[in-house]
Structure 1
Amino acid sequence: MTDSYSVYDIAEWFLKKEPMSDKKVQKLTYYAVAWGWALLHRSIIDDDQFQAWVHGPVSPKLYAKYRDCGWNPIPQPDDTPEFDQQTTDLLESVWATYGDKEANELEALTHTEIPWRNARRGYEPNQNSKKVIDTDDMRNFYLSIYNGD
């Protein structure tokens, strides 16, 4: 079994690639966790879960840490945590797939996907929610993409 990490460590890995908004780092970190469930059959984080907020999946811990940045890019960290090879490969794949997209584009993409949509079921479009996105939904949905279903 390989390690799991803090949600902050995963976010900092992406922030080391480029300065970005809170919204973008939230979505990239979500995709890393979701694809971890699909491809590694486990969570790559051990300290938070993603909730189905109005603007897409959000880690409450990341939100609390970066909310004061507002719409400004979050500064790049001085150093990056070390990861096992499997996690590093996963993060590189997520970056290659989603890293060139803008925050609003990533938000729109999550809004079309089953995990977030299922968690938002029963909520009005602008209604706040702290409903946790189901990890089985993440695993099944992203694995179906991977398998070309």
Structure 2
Amino acid sequence: MAVANWFLTKSWSDGSKPPCDQMKLYKLVYYAHGWYLGNCHQELFPEDVEAWPHGPVVRDLYVEFKDAGRNPITHLGKRLEIVDDSVKRIEPKHDGSLDGFFDSIWNVYGGYTGIQLSNMTHDPGEPWTVVAEQYGYNLASKPTITSEIIEAAFQRKVRDAS
């Protein structure tokens, strides 16, 4: 959620790029996770990435932002956490140490719409496509795209960019 909130805040301050609707936000978070795995060999966040019909989605993000429909998202996401023996919705924050990394993701992918980013995740050899092919493109169960599949694909991208 902290990664999603970073991209939302960035999109609100950068009026030169299309705003973040659900699809765009989910794909930006996915690309950040993928490039982090490919470069650092560790997960950016622990939540599963699932193969949904329109590309990779982190379910917690969908639950938080689904009410936006196809419109731009206008609020930051919150998480349920236990604080002082009660459950509260809090806004997760990050420490700023990855701002440069997130900026690089935004600079590459922020100019695309959600549909364009979704289409990119469907290219041959992309992690979503690998999993979709394994399931005969029947993604009703929303199978997990494992970190191993994502990391292998993005390590190839890192090597190809070198």
Q: Is TM (by shorter chain) over 0.5?
A: yes
TM interval, shorter chain, is 0.7 to 0.9
Q: CA RMSD in A?
A: 2.1
- Is the contact made by 1:54 and 1:129 (CA closer than 8 Å) also made in structure 2? no
* 2:109 match: 98
Report the TM-score when normalising by structure 2: 0.78
Which of 135, 139, 159 is residue 123 of structure 1 equivalent to?
Answer: 135
Deviation at 1:9?
0.5
Aligned residue for 1:50? 49
Question: Counterpart of 2:63?
Answer: 64
- Give distance in 2, aligned partners of 1:17 and 1:82: 14
| Secondary structure of 1:57's aligned partner | strand
Structure 1 unmatched ranges of 5 or more: 1-7
The SS at the match of 2:27 is helix
Q: Do the aligned residues in 2 keep the contact of 1:16 with 1:76 (CA within 8 Å)?
A: no
For structure 2, list consecutive stretches of 5 or more residues without a partner in the other structure: 12-18, 77-90
State whether residues 132 and 139 of structure 2, in contact with CA within 8 Å, keep that contact through their aligned partners in structure 1: no
Determine if contact 2:48/2:146 at 8 Å carries over to the other structure.
no
Structure 1 residue 145 and structure 2 residue 138: aligned? no
Superposed structure 1 runs of 4+ greater than 3 Å apart = 122-127
Percent of paired sites with the same residue: 29
Residue 88 in 1 paired to residue 99 in 2?
Answer: yes
* Kept in 1: contact 2:132–2:138 (CA 8 A): no
Q: Distance in 2 between matches of 1:14 and 1:58?
A: 15
Q: Offset of 1:56 from its aligned partner?
A: 0.1
| 1:51–1:130 Cα contact (<8 Å) kept | yes
Residue of structure 2 in register with 1:31 after alignment: 31
Deviation at 1:125? 4.1
* Deviation string, structure 1 residues 27-74 (Cα, Å, up to 9, x no partner): 00011111111111111113x111011000001100000001101110
2-structure distance, mates of 1:80, 1:21: 20
3-state SS of paired residue (1:97):
helix
Q: Structure 1: how far apart are the matches of 2:155 and 2:96?
A: 22
Alpha-carbon deviation of 1:127?
Answer: 4.1
